Amino acid sequence: MNKWICKESKQKIARYIIGKEGADPLVLFTLFPEEQSVAKWGKKIKKVIKLSEALDKDGWLIINIYPIKINNVSEINHFENMQLIYRNRDEIKELFNKYNVSTVWAGWGNAVQENDFLWFELKNLLKRIPEDTQWIIAGKLSKEGHPVFNGRAMNVSRMIPFEIEDYINKHKLK
């Protein structure tokens, strides 16, 4: 295994999964893929690789709540992109069926609260992830109570368990 994968839409406007395969990879769950090229993701990817190795994972994968490459939450237009969103759901379900993922690192940040669709989609995607999956975060939650990608908390001792069900219940849409 351990081959690179980058699953994108044909038009290259959506990225569903990026990483290196493994029998039990670390999965980082973020908000959306940035428009910048994968090459410019260097620092973030190096941190994910370093943590996956420290956790004795044999691969790493990055998935997103919203698969379309954007730079800001205000750019989200889910009505125009539902076909890509459905594909993202399928890719995530397939990922968890194909690999023995035991650990998911939650790192979508505060911006999830800025768009009702992101909450809806996060809950939708959680249905595709096995209930016995261990969730972790880097350091502590943000002031608003959301898991963030914290590049400074990149050693194993700073990773702490994350109760995804408690998080969803606490932040329910009203």
Query: Which domains does the chain carry?
Result: 4-170 (3.40.50)
Beta sheet of 60-64, edge-to-edge order:
4-8, 15-20, 60-64, 26-30, 103-106, 134-138, 159-161
Contact 168, 123 (CB under 8 A): yes
Which DSSP state fits 82?
H
Which DSSP state fits 100?
-
Read off the pLDDT of residues 154-170 as tens digits, 9 standing for 90 and up. 666 678 999 999 999 88
> pTM score > 0.85 for this model?
yes
Read off the pLDDT of residues 83-102 as tens digits, 9 standing for 90 and up. 999 999 999 999 999 999 99
Read off the pLDDT of residues 92-131 as tens digits, 9 standing for 90 and up. 999 999 999 999 999 998 988 888 888 889 999 999 999 9
Alpha-carbon distance 21 to 104, whole Å? 15
